[in-house]
Structure 1
């Protein structure tokens, strides 16, 4: 004897669709947690790797690593880019990028000089001068910060004065702005105690750490279980009362 009433087709369809959706969202949250943990492991491993020559990885960097590199060349003076609203935004300030021409190359490399804290006003912080002439750099050859949702078109092309400010960093737009070919990654300089810049290049997942993704996954899986339980509860057979047996 069945304990359930025969459900309507649309009730079955809605329940199945809801359960599948909740399961898919839960799996996506678990996938994002795994991605972020793998990224943090790659950053941690990069700091332990030996320094390589930039030319060996410049055009075709490894997809799953952020190599430490060394190179020599010259900065392009007066062409800095200020990334507003970076990961240090709670302290005010900007992440500063400067184009750099490696020795013997025509392509330009965008160098992440680091985070420059705010000065307590709405004005951009005063940038220290870049070194003149040939210099040697070492750092991590890593992907640029994510572009995110672009609003208002190419902000760099709309500005005439330097340094130029942007809320996202698109290397394609930087290349158009500089009228030059730009390498596919940026060089994040290693920490220097004497530098005015704050250099913290590990991804900041404080707003959504891997553990929070897993917590959200648990919630979605719980919704899937609740949907099944509600379906069974609403379609259970009720015992007939004595007054109904006439």
Structure 2
């Protein structure tokens, strides 16, 4: 899928207004090794396991936010893992659990990330993660990928004890950058996060690396792109 680029007039407006980018973690870090590790631990059941684990992982974030019963994303991820093992009538050793969980702390970056970050920094664009990940998870992934120095302090949902798509979570961007929402581009990975960012009022770029359908929730991103080239074009 190619990039959906803004018009020339839109590009001029973007150059004038976009001063920072808030990134979802998976726009930068590739989550596919999680599925690879799952298949290694449970041959032949990897796809089913990964889908259930991921689904329950995010459902737990939404339910805990709605119920005001916060746990950080690392804990939620482990709870969802335990649920998945139980539901699928599997057994999980401590070693297997640790291997699966640690995958989330050493994710590779997508191939277009290093050069894109260099270009955005050259243009003077401020950057930070606005992520459900804990600060420790982000720090470990940044260290493993050698990306230190590009990002401002993490806007992890631990700061506000509410997961995306809560408006409380997205509000961290304007508060931390000291900018208006319309001056901050949000780079989303998941369809639901794309919608949430747009509902909040961010100029939103959906980096749709998985070629997924957009959720039918009455919101459209400003740009849909299969890679970070669309984000750079949107910034202008």
Normalising to structure 2: TM-score of the pair?
Answer: 0.22
- Hey, which of these two has a bigger chunk of strand by percent? 1
Q: Which of 1 and 2 has greater Rg? A: 1
- Hey, which of these two has a bigger chunk of helix by percent? 2
